[in-house]
Structure 1
């Protein structure tokens, strides 16, 4: 009787436990919800990474014979600096390097330095009939409608000119950390082509996939002048061309494949502000855009419910908006429960080790709507920073990052190199 009673009690207890477990499982499933996360590169990109103006330092803004000016800029391998300045005692002639400009690294990525005057040419803007060059030129002169052409000793009217390198001396110096100084010196004094040089403009194009986004930012040989160059070539007025260059100068960057992590009951699995990189794979994401290492590390760890790496179709990376083409977009269906948090991370592609990520507390994974305001830009502290999009050691510009060891921090804005748009102008994250 005792044995039978004991068996019945055990059976009843087992049935109770089984039923309770089954109810808990059903309850957990009932509280799960389906959602979709969408990440989009919404940057309205620009093709020029830097541009600016220069002028003489005297009472007059011109650069007189014997005077010089300096242009400081940053550049990556394959990038070039272009500039334009008026041959002051002419109707519409200007000095400029042949496109795409003066390359500042050799094929091995070694900075080039020294006299690069031979790369500077003299150009005819084609909008005025040339008179004999000199102080007595009548400005603006007779109108003409020709295309931009290089003057090689003699212009269309038979006037003679020395080589541009005999009139403008151009010296390139490397300052370190991808920063250069280009010095333009007016050496025309005492020559048959003595002339002041006007204030001028300069520009550097982004390079992506080995191709310059704008290889002819100031002029195109064999084509009609445009974008305000005529004002510079005829009167030395830089303002119209400067305004044009400013309108196409700014930020261009892809976003790397996006790491998405759903977690519960643990701290942010990607990073902690003020502490060094954990050595779990974030460095590879921040420096090279490789999210796979960190994703592999996190999968199966306590509190980690799901890990995804979202890649854009065909391009893998999320390209920015280019002219009329929308930026890259990726989406992922996710399953979440009450209390779940969500973290994302993606590289600022044209940087040394910057990454966009959710704030340290993450995002409520059950929220519906735009959560872009929870995204900030961080510096991983594992590579020396350079001008974004113009650094010789940036991985996505064929460079090798120079290591450093600093705690993870927010990227200041403005920073030592440039002023960035608000993070919301780069990346949009929506939960639906």
Structure 2
């Protein structure tokens, strides 16, 4: 169920090509060794970008159910490419819960504007398929009558819309909007207030008369793909929905979502260069971007400008774009488990530099030091092995940073290429930038190796 969603602009731009290709070289060079560089994306796949719990009704001092007239409220941050999903139990039942459909609730319109308003029409009553249904508020194993948690007859069924359920005792449930109201209020930036209200007149008409219909504490996630918590027509994933839908217990699902929350970072195509010792052809730490095309890679994963100019840069003897993942037939970013590879010839004294984007950011890129990596040691022996420790994350200083994967102008959320607030700061190690956001370590995203033949 783990899925990754990339921005349209990013996917469109990374496939751009230029006149140089991986076998460009200076014919006057007599190679001493042939090198192959592999750049592999090793970042863990995260199912959710944000997650959390709602368990204390507004005005209450401690966690508990939202009885008729009460509501849960919580804040979420979400980018244009993300959606909201949640699960809360319809108490007095065996295993019924409210939640959006498989796609979740979009928090932005197609034009990128944030939404505000009633979204109850995107919320449904589901049967978890884990416990045989009894008459709500009457059956001995409904949550308000059971002798203890997790009682009742196991069903081993599928998650279905309650309106499509045929197993167990039939019951005429009210319409969703007669029990619950869900609204989204845009606050500021990328922040939204989510309100889940148990309506004051929320009742269930049972054989023993009208009974109240409370809502349990629940869990929410902000996600990019579909089916984040369950799939209609399939069995429960076993990650904690059963505990919420049968007992209103958020413990297991909250632990699972917390463990699987974070940014899944792609890495963009890039450009490599072999150059003379003592030259900084791509950028210089502590100086503004040269304007040679590093900005295009750092902001959009767009290799066109730097790919076209790399062979004319100071000290460069060879250089080219790398943009097609190993085993793929077309250009694109490397997702977790995929890699780029390129090969070149070099001689003693040569250095290697390359740059490619840490996608989901505004202008952060991977790269060697500004002087590159020496391809031979002081004894003239060619370098081979894992060189990830010689790769750094850099801030290009060309666009104001926003929260990765959330900010509206990060590459996976922007509506078009080259958006965002311009800045003219120096190229800096990302570790020296204090923007208030969290970034991964290089070796948690990439593994870079070089092999000399």
2:202·2:213 contact (CA, 8 Å) conserved in 1?
no
From 134, 148, 158, the equivalent of 1:147 is 158
Map of 1:6 onto structure 2: none
Correspondence 1:216 to 2:227: yes
Map of 1:259 onto structure 2: 271
1:188·1:194 contact (CA, 8 Å) conserved in 2?
no
1:345·1:355 contact (CA, 8 Å) conserved in 2?
yes
Larger CA deviation: 124-133 vs 224-233? 124-133
Map of 1:317 onto structure 2: 332
From 87, 91, 107, the equivalent of 2:90 is 87
Cα distance 1:113–1:415, how it changes in 2: closer, same or farther (>3 A)? Answer: farther
Correspondence 1:301 to 2:313: yes
Cα distance 1:268–1:165, how it changes in 2: closer, same or farther (>3 A)? Answer: farther
From 61, 75, 87, the equivalent of 2:78 is 75
Which has the bigger relative contact order, CA under 8 A and spacing at least 6? 2
Query: How far does residue 406 in structure 1 lie from its aligned partner after superposition?
Result: 4.7
From 134, 137, 140, the equivalent of 1:133 is 137
Q: Supply the distance in 2 between the matched residues of 1:82 and 1:398 (Cα, whole angstroms).
A: 22
Query: How far does residue 416 in structure 1 lie from its aligned partner after superposition?
Result: 6.7
Query: How far does residue 293 in structure 1 lie from its aligned partner after superposition?
Result: 0.7
Give the number of the structure whose residues are more often helix, by fraction: 1
Larger CA deviation: 58-67 vs 348-357? 58-67
1:318·1:329 contact (CA, 8 Å) conserved in 2?
no
Q: Supply the distance in 2 between the matched residues of 1:336 and 1:258 (Cα, whole angstroms).
A: 23
User: Normalised by the size of structure 2, how large is the TM-score?
Assistant: 0.77
From 345, 368, 392, the equivalent of 1:376 is 392
2:187·2:193 contact (CA, 8 Å) conserved in 1?
yes
Q: Supply the distance in 1 between the matched residues of 2:89 and 2:432 (Cα, whole angstroms).
A: 36
Map of 1:39 onto structure 2: 39
After superposition, residues 200-349 of structure 1 pair within 5 angstroms as: 200-206=218-224, 212=225, 215-227=226-238, 228-312=240-324, 313-321=328-336, 326-338=337-349, 340-349=350-359
User: Normalised by the size of structure 1, how large is the TM-score?
Assistant: 0.80
Q: Supply the distance in 1 between the matched residues of 2:289 and 2:433 (Cα, whole angstroms).
A: 24
Q: Supply the distance in 2 between the matched residues of 1:416 and 1:92 (Cα, whole angstroms).
A: 45
Q: Supply the distance in 1 between the matched residues of 2:164 and 2:373 (Cα, whole angstroms).
A: 67
- Per-residue CA shift, 1:147-175, capped at 9, x if unaligned? 22223499853433332223222221223
Q: Supply the distance in 1 between the matched residues of 2:329 and 2:78 (Cα, whole angstroms).
A: 28
Cα distance 1:331–1:122, how it changes in 2: closer, same or farther (>3 A)? Answer: same
| Runs of 4+ with deviation above 6 angstroms | 28-31, 413-418
Map of 1:179 onto structure 2: 191
1:90·1:137 contact (CA, 8 Å) conserved in 2?
no
Correspondence 1:58 to 2:73: no
Query: Cα RMSD over matched residues?
Result: 3.0
Query: How far does residue 373 in structure 1 lie from its aligned partner after superposition?
Result: 0.7
Question: Structure 2: 5+ residue runs without aligned partners?
Answer: 1-27, 205-210, 377-382
Match of 1:240, SS state, is: helix
Q: Supply the distance in 2 between the matched residues of 1:59 and 1:333 (Cα, whole angstroms).
A: 64
Query: How far does residue 81 in structure 1 lie from its aligned partner after superposition?
Result: 0.7
1:37·1:334 contact (CA, 8 Å) conserved in 2?
no
Say which one has the larger Rg.
1
- Per-residue CA shift, 1:160-191, capped at 9, x if unaligned? 33322232222212234433332222324564
1:348·1:354 contact (CA, 8 Å) conserved in 2?
yes
Q: Supply the distance in 2 between the matched residues of 1:403 and 1:363 (Cα, whole angstroms).
A: 32
Larger CA deviation: 293-302 vs 366-375? 293-302
Q: Supply the distance in 2 between the matched residues of 1:301 and 1:421 (Cα, whole angstroms).
A: 31
- Per-residue CA shift, 1:111-152, capped at 9, x if unaligned? 221111221112222213223337853355531413222234
